Amino acid sequence: MKKFFATIVMIAMAGFMAISASAQYAPSSLNFKKGKLADNNGKVLSEEQVIAAIGQNIYEETYVGARKQIKTGKTLVKVGIPVAVAGIVITGIGSSKLDGTSISDALADTATDEQKQAALISIGGSLISSIGGVCIDAGIPLWVIGKKRLKWIAEDYNAKNVSYVPSVKVGTAAHGYGLTVTF
């Protein structure tokens, strides 16, 4: 009898473990977390869950592009900051070797080779820091726009799927009974 009962339990467990409900998962609300969409518990959704929640059309038209914007923006900022700092350091090194001589005087025919070299180092550093600045200037708007697009997707989903039902509850509180009104 025990073996029969154990066999029935094992078959039932195997049957329940084989059922996958991930395709049926629908979050009660969507949030924005670390450049991705998350459910109301903060768990980042997989691509399949995002498609199931927002639909294939919004996924292809908005979600994919927003994720690319965020990724590109972050990359540009992460590359731009060290490049700009390196350019500033190189400019400082070149400027310190000029010893008060202007760049135009250092590039004149009467200047020494050391002054010309220092002027070229300073100019090169300025160009490098400008490139870093351009990366930062291009990356920040992409990052912000991508985040706003994902937040729009979450807000649109929540507006369509999250319903708030007004309620009045009476229950115990810290010092007796209390009334809770939710609307």
For 32-88, write each residue's pLDDT tens digit.
Answer: 887 788 888 888 888 898 898 899 999 999 999 999 999 999 999 999 999 999 999
Decide if 22 is inside a domain. Answer: no
Instruction: Name every residue whose Cβ is closer than 8 Å to that of residue 100 and which is 6 or more positions away in sequence.
Output: none
Decide if 18 is inside a domain. Answer: no
What is the number of domains present in the chain?
A: 1
Range of the domain at 52: 28-182
Decide if 12 is inside a domain. Answer: no
Instruction: Name every residue whose Cβ is closer than 8 Å to that of residue 163 and which is 6 or more positions away in sequence.
Output: none
Decide if 64 is inside a domain. Answer: yes
Decide if 15 is inside a domain. Answer: no
Q: Distance between the two ends of the chain, CA-based, in angstroms? A: 56
- What's the predicted TM-score (pTM) here? 0.68
Cα-to-chain-centroid distance, residue 68: 10
Q: Cα–Cα distance between 66 and 71 in angstroms, integer? A: 9
Decide if 155 is inside a domain. Answer: yes
Decide if 39 is inside a domain. Answer: yes
Decide if 5 is inside a domain. Answer: no
